[in-house]
Structure 1
Amino acid sequence: MPDPQNKQYIGLMSGTSLDGVDGVLAEFAPDGTIRTIAAAYLPFPPALREDLLKLQAPSENEIHLEALSANGLAHVYAACVTDLLANAGVTAESVHAVGAHGQTIRHRPESGYTWQTGNPALLAELTGIDVVADFRSRDIAAGGQGAPLVPAFHQAVFGNAEEVRVVANIGGIGNISVLDRCRGITGFDTGPGNVLMDAWISRHLGKPYDAGGAWAASGTEIPALLTEMMAEPYIALPPPKSTGRDLFHADWLAAKLTGYTAASPEDVQATLAAFTAESIAEAVAKHAANAAAVYVCGGGACNSHLMQRLQQSLDARKHQARVQSTDALRISPNHVEALAFAWLAHRFSERKAGNLPRVTGASGLRILGALYPA
């Protein structure tokens, strides 16, 4: 019989890659133990994905488009919740709350805002479960970046007193959490993850992503282009910092490619993979020189070429860290971020802070999220 002191939460995450929604149902015990009960994934309908892509930049009638997209996203989220409940064999009444990140369509902390669309009120109506959403704006209100929010969760589930670890999430954007109990926990966005590689292969091959990095592996890196990419000012900025499609988009890439019109598409893809690997390795070398391991989660963990290239980048810097997926720590790399938002919903319900001021730059600890009761 389930322990009545344990509480079940659902976490839903749709990231910068805009491929779909990952969901987990997890059980939280009073002693801090977290157990994943079920997981589910739903791809976005093509029309919804296209609309969400349009919203990444100013467009005509965008307020109307955003409202319709928020409704569409809420329906996909609700369908994922239904799958989770069915997979676990439980009812909505057994779930304390849903933590829903929403889809980021603008991230401008330098202007004092971030915006994640999703219509959590509709999600609560559709699921009959309390929804906690809007996790980032409270941190920004306190002077922070609103991102990344996962380092506190990474420390809770992956931290180790005996060694320094880095957790590298490679979704659309790359970010790292440095889990160092002696020096403190740090984390920040390193630069592009899959976002530029996905856009490039979609343009040339009509594929949503480079499965296993096979296309990148078929090309040859262009050293001069890689040097220009690494010269992007954001890479050298000190943390706290965060980024997104507001910076790393098709026009950014087009500007870098101006002098490389004769380059083959697969060589550009190889260079983009190298850029992701090099920007992460550079961040690890600067901020986690004594890390024993880099544990990768997100879609990048499924890209064997990228994982090998990241290891090469660290080896070239004479860094000791071994690169492996979070499977080695018994959490699937595809579940980590969704589980983080279940954890943040749990923190909200317990009225405990969810941010780390050292990571985001906020003026202090803050309870993150807003409640939409069922």
Structure 2
Amino acid sequence: LAPAADADPGGRPGGGVRAALNLGGIANLTVVAPDAPVLGYDVGPANALLDAAARRFLDRPCDVDGARAAAGRVHPGLLALLLAEPYYAAAPPKSTGKELFHAGYLDDRLAALGEPVARDDVFATLTELTARTVADACARHLVTELVAAGGGVRNPTLWGRLAALGGDRWTLRTTDELGVPAQAREAYAFALLGWLSWHGLPGALPSVTGARRATVLGSWTPSGPPYGAAPPRPPRRLVVLR
């Protein structure tokens, strides 16, 4: 859903590949490259497993400021077990969610490891999992600029690992720098999808969904404007008024 708002119909002046990253429960990526269809898919867990661990081990909703992760060390064996998840190797288009990455999933991996892992090391390893899978996806698409949003941007430990893994390969910043609050990026996207549907314009990108054609999303009940009564062309810019 989000890539419809991330797409840049005007292309990328001066070349380079821009990617939009949302670090919610799941990390999803939209890739906008010159002379190529927009690509978007779920990379893997962002906060889903971290929050599950926080509820299980800390009786809290999250690892505030990534403090427990910062205090721990990455456990190589647990990280290798987590990275062996077949979903990561699947080619897009693809989508995932908490139906896969949930508390039971984490419990199973910890049990399969067959050795105890310190709590802080669990948080450090899960943070590294998110950073590593996102970095691998960005490297695969030759991303040169990564613009992030979602709750994960407020986790300095995760943010630091993304910056370190990116090195000089890509610049890293939040959507706040572009005028869109990082915590509201998806709200803006869904408002745009509603606008597109109201005007009879497609909101789904076949290059993202794998569908045969672009379609108008949803329907208006009891009624809305007749489909086909659309503006001459889709919007090209989003202007944020403060």
Alignment partner of 1:241 is 2:90: no
Aligned runs of 1:237-276 on 2, under 5 Å?
Answer: 237-258=90-111, 259-276=113-130
Structure with higher strand content:
1
Give the alignment partner of residue 17 of structure 2, picking from 143, 164, 167. 164
2:54 is the alignment partner of 1:201: yes
Shift of 1:372: 3.2
Query: In structure 2, which of residues 213, 222, 235 is the aligned counterpart of residue 364 of structure 1?
Result: 213
Query: Residue 209 and residue 158 in structure 1: after superposition, are their counterparts in 2 closer, same or farther (change >3 A)?
Result: farther
Residue 180 of structure 1 pairs with residue 42 of structure 2: no
Q: How big is each residue's C-alpha offset from its partner over 1:26-82, in whole Å with a ceiling of 9 and x where there is no partner?
A: xxxxxxxxxxxxxxxxxxxxxxxxxxxxxxxxxxxxxxxxxxxxxxxxxxxxxxxxx
Return the alpha-carbon distance in structure 1 between the equivalents of residues 117 and 202 of structure 2: 49
Distance, in Å, in 2 between the alignment partners of 1:272 and 1:173 is 13
| 2:183 alignment partner in structure 1 | 334
**Count of residues in correspondence between the two structures:** 221
The CA deviation string for residues 166-224 of structure 1, in whole angstroms up to 9 with x for no partner, is: 11101001110001132221011001110100010111111111222111111111012
Is 1:343 aligned to 2:197, yes or no?
A: no
- 1:58-137 equivalences under 5 Å are none
Return 5+ residue gaps in structure 2 as ranges. Answer: 224-242
SS in 2 for 1:372: coil
Which one of the candidate residues 274, 280, 300 is aligned to 2:152? Answer: 300
Judged with a 3 Å threshold, the aligned counterparts in structure 2 of structure 1 residues 334 and 231 are, in CA distance, closer, same or farther, namely same
Determine helix, strand or coil for the equivalent of 2:4. helix
Report the Cα offset of residue 353 of structure 1: 0.4
Report deviation, 1:161: 2.8
- 1:151 aligned to 2:10? no
| 2:88 maps to 1:229 | no
Deviation at 1:373, TM superposition (A): 4.7
**CA apart distance, 1:240:** 0.4
Query: Distance in 2 between the 1:361 and 1:161 partners?
Result: 27
Q: Is the 8 A contact 2:27 2:44 kept in 1?
A: yes
Distance 1:215 1:183 in 2: 41
Aligned match of 2:172 in 323, 328, 334? 323
Deviation digits for residues 113-151 of structure 1 (CA, Å, limit 9, x no counterpart): xxxxxxxxxxxxxxxxxxxxxxxxxxxxxxxxxxxx111
Instruction: Give, in angstroms, the shift of residue 156 of structure 1.
Output: 4.7
Q: Are the aligned partners of 1:158 and 1:329 in contact in 2 as well (CA < 8 Å)?
A: no
**Aligned mate of 1:277, from 131, 135, 139:** 131
CA RMSD of aligned residues (A): 1.8
Distance 1:158 1:173 in 2: 28
Taking structure 1 as reference, are residues 329 and 350 closer, same or farther at Cα in structure 2, changes over 3 Å only?
same
- Which residue of structure 1 lines up, in the alignment, with residue 71 of structure 2? 218
Q: CA deviation at 1:358?
A: 0.8
CA distance 1:228–1:248, shift in 2 (3 Å): same
Separation in structure 2 between the aligned mates of residue 197 and residue 177 of structure 1, nearest angstrom: 23
Note the 1:10-21 alignment, pairs <5 A. none
CA contact (8 A) 2:145 2:172 kept: yes
Alignment check: 8 A CA contact 2:26 2:97 kept: yes
Counterpart of 1:371 in 2: which secondary structure?
A: coil
Per the TM alignment, residue 230 of structure 1 is displaced from its structure 2 partner at its CA by 0.9
The structure-2 alpha-carbon separation of the partners of 1:157 and 1:334, relative to structure 1 and needing over 3 Å to count, comes to: farther
Q: Which residue matches 1:191?
A: 44
Q: Which runs of 5+ in 1 are unaligned?
A: 1-148
Structure 1 CA distance for aligned equivalents of residues 222 and 149 of structure 2:
31
Counterpart CA distance in 1 for 2:29 and 2:150 is 12
